Every structure is written in C-alpha cells, then in structure tokens.
Amino acid sequence: MNAKFVLAPMAGYSDVGFRQVCADYGADLTFTEMLSAQAMKYESEKTKSLAFRGNNEKAVIAQIFGKDASVMAEAVQNPILQNFEGIDINMGCPAPKIIKNGEGSALLKNLPLASKIISECKKVVGDKTLSVKVRIGFDFNNISQIAKMCEESGADFITVHGRTAKQMYSGSVDYDAIATAKNSVQIPVYGNGDIVDEKSYQKMLLTGVDGVMIGRGAVGSPWIFSILNHNGDKIDAFESIKKHVQLLREIYPEKFLNLYLRKHFLAYASKMHASSQIKQKLALQSNIDESLKLFQSLNNHFEN
C-alpha cells in the first residue's frame, strides 16, 4: 500500500463525507470507522450505514473489530466490505467498553489469539490488503513482539499508535517505541499519535516510518494534509464544510444530521478560532443551513 498520508479510523468522525474532504486535501488513504464483526454477522443496519462508501472516494480501508477469529474471518468476506481496497483489524482501541469485551487493544494481552485472528483473516482476504492497527502494548511496551507477531501472522502493514492502551490519549507519544516497531519488521509501518502540525509531523518521520496516520489532528481541520504535503492547495474552510455537509445529506436524513454534525461543527469552529458565542450558537442550532451561514461569516476572517 503506497500511501504517505493516511486518515485514521475514528469512531463518530470518519464518515464518508469527512473522508472525501480529507482525500481532497491530500490524504492518500482513508479508513472507515470501526465496524463490529459480530454486528455484521447479524446484518446490523447501523453497521451497514457506517460501511457506506462514496462513489468518488479514493482508496479506503474498512476497519473491523472483534475477538472471535472465525467471526472476524466471516466479516472479512461480508458483502458490505467487498468494495474496499483493504481490511484493517483493530487491536488498538483503548475504550473501556471495547476492552471489557476483550476486543480492540485487549487483544494485545493475548498475542496467540491476536495472531490467530490475523492469520484466519489473511486466509480469506484474497488480493486485498490486510493491515493491523496496534498500540505499543497494553500496559507496558512490548511493541517489538507485537510487530513481529503481526508480520508473522500475515499482516501486510501495521499502524502503531505510540502509547499503551492504559495511557489512552494521555502522556507523550513514545517515538522510540515506534522506531523499534519499524526496525523489528520488514513490512511497512505507519506512525500515529499527536501529529497536529509540521513540527510534530517531522518528529514522527524521524522514527523511519513509511507514512503517517493522522486522527485527532485532522478533526476540524481536514486541510492538515495539504499543509503537511506542501501541495499548495488553496484552503477554503467554508467550502470544505459545505461539501462535507452536502455529501452526508445525500445519504442520511436531515433529522439525524442535525445532531450528528454538531460535533464536527464545533471542531471546525475551534480550528477556525470562533468566539465562544458562535460556538454556543452552533451547539444549540437545529438548522444545518443556519450553521453554514455562521461558518460563511467566519470564513471571511479565517487564516490558517
């Protein structure tokens, strides 16, 4: 998978509209939100909705999570995932409810099971890319062992978030651990964690990674890919937000979007240096078009 900039799979944020806007600004590869393998087994309508792919999207990988190797392998073959370029296995989510179920980063506590899940998925993935997203460990750093396990089990590439699961998103990214992962395997390694500007991007590159995955740094500012890639694209925040909205309006009902888009709108407003008064209006606004008017007025004064 030849990609320099990757958009992370973020629950509640990596929707089809946001993915396309990020791709417009230079994300070479994007990921869906986490998709439950168990829910796919029961043909969950919500999961089908999360797996929707736009007609004009570039390369997209579907991320799945679960703890049963056979169920995960079955999910890889599910028809709703057949139009994606690859499958990613989530072994990095630190959310308590996911860990409690033995999924996500909890699998880092049971490497034999993690290996079985990867190898079973590899058997049925066909010619698609199979990747794994991990942390540097569950409650201590054993990334070399984790990375080697992923490679030996059949992963085509891995993405390493430079924290343990126990840390969640606190503390500093362990760049040395990411470098260790890169030096432990022959497959490509992507670095993830706290990439928010040129300085943090360059710091991640020093680890020797093959590319970077950007998550929270892109929320509210999808143009970060253009900035880091120095591609010279004109940044028009309002047009980006408007396109994001238009793409989602083609798929989802207005009633759903009125609530769903608020978190995106507040993130955009924060990155556009909106006043607390405007943020409050956006938080309480129940009309998307009125919110867009607020962003249009903000755009006239926004300089990234």
Q: Residue 250 to residues 48, 245, 247, 253: CA-CA distances in angstroms?
A: 16, 9, 5, 8
Burial class (CB in 10 A: 0-12, 13-18, 19+), 91: buried
Angle at CA 139, nearest 5°, toward 137 and 144? 25
Whole-number Å distance between alpha carbons of 121 and 75: 9
Q: Parallel, antiparallel, or unpaired for β 189-192 and 157-161? A: parallel
DSSP state of 187: S
Burial class (CB in 10 A: 0-12, 13-18, 19+), 281: middle
Count Cβ atoms below 10 Å from residue 287 Cβ, excluding itself: 10
What element of type H or E holds 88?
A: strand 86-91
Annotated catalytic residue 150: no
Q: Which of 53, 115, 121 is nearest to 84 (CA)?
A: 53
Work out the angle between the directed axes of helices 175-184 and 198-205 (0-180°, nearest 10).
40
Choice among 22, 93, 121, 150 that is catalytic: 93
Length of the chain: 304
Q: Which of 125, 12, 106 is nearest to 66 (CA)?
A: 106
Q: Which residues are catalytic?
A: 93
